[in-house]
Structure 1
Amino acid sequence: METAKRIGVDNEHVRTPRKKKWMILGIFILLFMAVLSIIVVVEVKKSNAKPLVFISPIEKNFTKTKTVSGRVVQSHTETIYINATKGSIQEIFVKEGETVTPGQKLFSYEGSTVAADQGQAEANKKLAETSVTQLKEQITSLEQDIREAESTTTPDITDTPDTTNTTDAVDTANQATKAITIQSLQAELNSAKAELRASELKVEKYTLEAEKLKAELETLTVSSLTAGVITNLNQNVGQGFQAKDNQQLAIMQIASNNPFQIEGKLTEAEKAKITPGQSITVTSKVVANKKWKGKISEVSDNPTYKTPANKGKDPQQEPIPSYTFKASLDSQKGLYPGYTTTLDVVVQSKELLAVPETSIKGFGKSTYVYVLKKGKLHEQKVETGQKQGKWVAILKGLKKEDKLGEDPSWIIRLGTKMNLN
């Protein structure tokens, strides 16, 4: 008897969990039915409260983007190096952070020997020019003397039997004297012309020498080639500093004032989709709720390689290639060099038919809309694509001239006659 009681108690213990499970399942079923009833009531009220509005699909631009990261950089940075062959530093004209313009002096070398040589060449040039002027005056005077000597004639003497022989002798003597005078003047003229040519050659020589030294002297003052801001001014370089031969030592950098760029690196898969000219939307964690527009300006075809982090564990693993890209910005307000950014690159842009999300019914691949055909309501299966805001792209199933319900109720009866008015 005790055994029978014990068996009954055990059976009761087994039935109790089963009863609890059935009770819980029943409660869930009741809740589901209640929620379903509420939905039905809401949909009925909704369908009764407002008429079904019919709309046509619209054409809308849908884009696909690829997200990559980058960093804001100056569009160009010029590095200025010290030239050891020009001597020691004489003076630095700019300061760190100063804005400079093209042609503005940056610093100068001493170059005292070059300045002295240039001064001597200028002096020699002036002496040669003075000599040329004097010789030209002398040549003009000699040419005048020769013309006067050639035009001189012997005075007329009345011929008589007693003077005829005397006149012939005088004429012969005068002609000889005249020829000697002209010959002497001509020799002096030739000598002056030779000296003039030599002096003119000296003028040319000293002119070229002075210009060469002047140009060399001008190179002792280094000027900016671009507009920008002075950065990384070498604090170890000052007046009297002399760089060592063959030493490449930077004295400063000039960061261009041109609009900033964004630089970053792409993987192989990203490079296959990203090309110059694609539009971008840029955001930065540093500046909240702000976006910038621009485009990809350059994508390198030459990869750089990075050694994998687990190379030690897997020696056979190949280095990872990456490709540098650059992007330009329409506006840079609020961005500064060094900021990290996120770029949404538009890799595809396409015009597609679109409908409001509220028009789509069903789930997954079994999606449909309610369309009006010959005045009656029909269920039309559609293939949906990308969602953009409240709009959903329609890949298949609809035409531009179709009429469909904008926000239909779930309990619409198919085949119902509808009036668009």
Structure 2
Amino acid sequence: MNKKWVVGLVFTGILSYFAFDLWSGWQKKHSAAPLTVTITKAHKEAMYDTLVASGSLVPQKEEKIYLDTAAGVFNSLLVHEGQQVTPGTPLFNYMDKETVQRQIELELTEKKLLLQLDEQKEKMLSMEQDFKKQSMTLTADSTIDQLVETFKQQKKQIERAIETASIGLEENKVQQESLAAKSEQLIIKSTIAGVIQKINYSQTTSPADTKNEPFIHIVSKEPFQIKGSITEFDHVLVKEGQDAIIKAKVIPGKTWRGKVTRVDHIPTSSLTDENTNKDSVTFYPFTVALEQMDDELKYGYHVTVEFQVHSKPEALVIPKEALIVKDAGEYVYIINANRLVLREVQTGLTNEKWVEIRNGLSEQEQVITTPSPDWFEGMEVVSHDTSP
């Protein structure tokens, strides 16, 4: 056979193969069963731009009490860890040896004065009884007058002794009250309501070893607050009263709501640019209060705080998974006459669930919720609406 004929036949076979393959692919695309897809409608939602900062959980109120050796010697502990306290609950007390000794002396003096007072009262009663007996037996006026005069003198002496003892008791009472007030100062009491978080028991025997640590730490039972800092760029966006979402790093998948209660206007620290050796970023403290207490959250936990800024109460949104990003553009699939159509859109704010559509879709227009990279325009589909 002529060599040219052989080459021609081979070339024709190759062309036929490719033509058949293209025809088969076209047939598969246009003769396959329609693809079932889920759709949803673009709708309005409140959207916020989110600013993220970090912080740690601290109690709204706390009290740290330190042992003071100048106040006296530690005497006894009156509470235990985990105990609930209120303002004025006795926590522990000091012992002042001079105060104790003086209290004993005053108590002994009081007993002595009371005995003297009782003795003089008994003496007065006995004298009055003797006077009555003697006056009944006497007849001469001169003798009676002498008896009366003697009685008056003795009565006056006893009354002075009673008055002296009474004054002594009053003085003793004042001194004991003053000493009691001083002793009351040796009893250390809580100033807030809360729970005894920690007691440093070792300080009761060797206070010098841990003098820089609190002896008793009390924290309030109110919902925790978050203390953190934000940069000067974020400082202009965060305001008191703003809502916030809190996430704990050790408790994934759970969130808590809070509100900004304080944004300081005096910076606490700065970052220095290594090249210019000048401050490049300044940080400002903020405080966020949790709306509710949760036992899962613990004092000192590190958390992230999401501040809601740049709010839009009625933004047109679609689910985040409905958005297709390719070739530096953003698209969605819509359905026209049961066929897929790729449409370019412009997006705005986003959150964990929704993405704002600023241009390219209208409200209630349907989009495919979970597009696949294998899909192409013109595919025949059957839709299932999952709109909220």
What does residue 217 of structure 2 align with? 254
Say yes or no: does 1:344 pair with 2:306: yes
What does residue 257 of structure 2 align with? 293
Change (3 A) 1:231 1:272: farther
**Length-normalised TM-score, structure 1:** 0.57
What does residue 67 of structure 1 align with? 52
Q: Report the Cα distance in structure 2 between the residues aligned to 1:242 and 1:70, rounded to whole angstroms.
A: 33
Say yes or no: does 1:204 pair with 2:198: no
Say yes or no: does 1:238 pair with 2:200: no
Q: Report the Cα distance in structure 2 between the residues aligned to 1:298 and 1:119, rounded to whole angstroms.
A: 54
Q: Report the Cα distance in structure 2 between the residues aligned to 1:140 and 1:390, rounded to whole angstroms.
A: 98
Cα shift readout 1:36-92 (whole Å, capped 9, x = no counterpart): x98xx78xx97xx99xx997x754222232110112334444333232334444566
Q: Is the 8 A contact 1:383 1:397 kept in 2?
A: yes
Change (3 A) 1:267 1:188: farther
Q: Is the 8 A contact 1:354 1:391 kept in 2?
A: no
Cα shift readout 1:151-207 (whole Å, capped 9, x = no counterpart): x89x9xxxxxxxxxxxxxx9xx72x55555444444444444433333222212212
Q: Report the Cα distance in structure 1 between the residues aligned to 2:114 and 2:75, rounded to whole angstroms.
A: 34
Q: Report the Cα distance in structure 1 between the residues aligned to 2:208 and 2:200, rounded to whole angstroms.
A: 19
SS of residue matched to 2:215: strand
How far apart are residue 112 of structure 1 and its match? 3.3
How far apart are residue 289 of structure 1 and its match? 2.4
Q: Is the 8 A contact 2:196 2:216 kept in 1?
A: no
Q: Report the Cα distance in structure 2 between the residues aligned to 1:359 and 1:128, rounded to whole angstroms.
A: 96
Q: Report the Cα distance in structure 2 between the residues aligned to 1:280 and 1:99, rounded to whole angstroms.
A: 31
What does residue 196 of structure 2 align with? 228
Q: Is the 8 A contact 1:86 1:109 kept in 2?
A: yes
Cα shift readout 1:336-375 (whole Å, capped 9, x = no counterpart): 33332211122354421535469999x99999999xxxxx
Q: Is the 8 A contact 2:56 2:300 kept in 1?
A: yes
**1:92-107 maps to which residues of 2 (within 5 A)?**
98-102=81-85, 103=89, 105-106=91-92
How far apart are residue 137 of structure 1 and its match? 5.8
Change (3 A) 1:340 1:359: closer
SS of residue matched to 2:286: strand
Cα shift readout 1:278-313 (whole Å, capped 9, x = no counterpart): 322222333332323323333333322336253xx5
220-229 vs 265-274, which moves further = 220-229
Q: Structure 2 stretches of 5 or more lacking a match?
A: 1-21, 335-343, 370-375, 379-388
Q: Report the Cα distance in structure 2 between the residues aligned to 1:389 and 1:85, rounded to whole angstroms.
A: 58
Q: Report the Cα distance in structure 2 between the residues aligned to 1:390 and 1:360, rounded to whole angstroms.
A: 12
SS of residue matched to 1:296: strand
Change (3 A) 1:231 1:319: farther
Cα shift readout 1:19-44 (whole Å, capped 9, x = no counterpart): xxxxxxxxxxxxxxx9xx98xx78xx
**Length-normalised TM-score, structure 2:** 0.61
Q: Is the 8 A contact 1:74 1:255 kept in 2?
A: no
RMSD, matched Cα: 5.3
Q: Report the Cα distance in structure 1 between the residues aligned to 2:70 and 2:367, rounded to whole angstroms.
A: 81
1:115 to 100, 115, 121: 100
Identity %: 21
Q: Report the Cα distance in structure 2 between the residues aligned to 1:211 and 1:100, rounded to whole angstroms.
A: 31
Q: Report the Cα distance in structure 2 between the residues aligned to 1:184 and 1:319, rounded to whole angstroms.
A: 102
